[in-house]
Amino acid sequence: MSTTNSFKRLARAVAMAAVLAGVGIGTAQAETVLITGANRGLGLGFARAYADRGWTVIATARNPDDAADLKALKTNGKDVTVEKLDVGDEASINALAVKLKGKPIDLLINNAAVNDGNGKGTTLGQFDTRFFEMEMRTNVLGPLLVSQALLPNVEASKMKKIVSITSPSAVISRPMKKETRRAHTYFYRPSKSALNMAMKILAAEVRERGVTVGIVHPGGVDTEMLRSVFDGKPQTQAQKPDDAALKIVSVIDTLTMENVDQVWGYDGKVIPW
Ligand SMILES: NC(=O)c1ccc[n+]([C@@H]2O[C@H](COP(=O)([O-])OP(=O)(O)OC[C@H]3O[C@@H](n4cnc5c(N)ncnc54)[C@H](OP(=O)(O)O)[C@@H]3O)[C@@H](O)[C@H]2O)c1
């Protein structure tokens, strides 16, 4: 028997063994995504979308014990791990980084954020320093610290992507609408503008290390965050979190080193900075 035929037989045997083992030949190991603020809203939608795709999902939450919807995703052999992470707490970020040391993370999604939509302590005449610091810490410093702490994990992966979720309300050139409370989110909107700039800088710095850093906005999504701007009322005209997450996942797929220096929308359209 020729060496070529022996090789072919060996390759067939290996392929068959792999199929029997449920591995699949030519299929790389499942990609891993880590999502912040994954217990509800858009973050939960991301966790569901990537779990359905067969990815390994590290879904983080401030209070894993209360994350029932997230834990429910673990059914049917889906690879979902729930980890504790408060992006406003450096010790919490570092503790997770230590726990995940050496584990490749293909995609990090900085999703967690807070919004001063309900106006408490954040309206003109009532500015409260504590709210401002909390929003900037959660929405800007948090994504930076998480990205920094998990950068070795991202670098160790195949895909090497970091994506932060921003908002169209961050666009500075956008005309201010009339006196709506939504327009006057004094702390939230600047925090997302700052996030965009922070991520732009990060993108430029880690590009040479092969890491792609993107920014995507979800449009309007009927989550607790959006409802908080409208006195807790459901926003039925807005997208459902799972639908918006699926669209963003498709956009994230298209992000490359060449096209990330822009703010992408869930609909695949670029918006101004
Ligand atoms: N909904 C929209 O229309 C809309 C529009 C534009 C942009 N966005 C952006 O989309 C992303 C997701 O928002 P969403 O609408 O899904 O809001 P959401 O329903 O209010 O969910 C926010 C998530 O962030 C988490 N979070 C808040 N502070 C945290 C912290 N310090 N550490 C860890 N997690 C924290 C929350 O966890 P807890 O349950 O522990 O509070 C929750 O899981 C945000 O970046 C938001 O700015 C949303």
Residues 213 and 237 in one domain: yes
Query: For a substitution probing ligand 1, which of 150, 225, 264 has the most ligand atoms within 8 Å of its CB?
Result: 225
Determine the structural domain holding residue 215 and report its residue range.
31-271
How many whole angstroms separate alpha carbon 256 and alpha carbon 10? 38
Buried-state track 144-178, b at ≥16 Cβ within 10 A, e below 16: bbbbebbbebbeebebbbbbbbbbbbbbeeeeeee
pLDDT the model gives residue 99: 98
Instruction: Indicate the pLDDT class of residue 76, thresholds 50, 70 and 90.
Output: confident
How many whole angstroms separate alpha carbon 273 and alpha carbon 262? 7
Residues 174 and 227 in one domain: yes
Query: For a substitution probing ligand 1, which of 85, 111, 133, 263 has the most ligand atoms within 8 Å of its CB?
Result: 111
pLDDT digits (tens, 9 = 90+) for 240-267: 999 999 999 999 999 999 999 999 999 9
Residues 25 and 101 in one domain: no
Q: β-strands 107-110, 270-271: how paired?
A: unpaired
Instruction: Indicate the pLDDT class of residue 23, thresholds 50, 70 and 90.
Output: very low
How many whole angstroms separate alpha carbon 132 and alpha carbon 136? 6
pLDDT digits (tens, 9 = 90+) for 108-150: 999 999 997 667 788 888 899 999 999 999 999 999 999 999 9
Residues 125 and 218 in one domain: yes
Provide the domain count of the chain.
2
Residues 7 and 114 in one domain: no
Instruction: Indicate the pLDDT class of residue 269, thresholds 50, 70 and 90.
Output: very high
For ligand 1, atom 36, the nearest C-alpha belongs to 37
Residues 44 and 128 in one domain: yes
Residues 14 and 68 in one domain: no
* Residue 33 beta carbon below 6 angstroms from any ligand 1 atom: no
Residues 187 and 84 in one domain: yes
* Residue 116 beta carbon below 6 angstroms from any ligand 1 atom: no
Q: β-strands 270-271, 263-265: how paired?
A: antiparallel
- Please say if the pLDDT value at position 178 is more than 80: no
Residues 132 and 240 in one domain: yes
Residues 124 and 252 in one domain: yes
Residues 175 and 204 in one domain: yes
What is the value of pTM for the model shown?
Answer: 0.91
Give the CATH number, domain containing residue 90. 3.40.50.720
For ligand 1, atom 21, the nearest C-alpha belongs to 41
Q: Are 164 and 110 in contact (CB under 8 A)?
A: yes
Residues 49 and 165 in one domain: yes
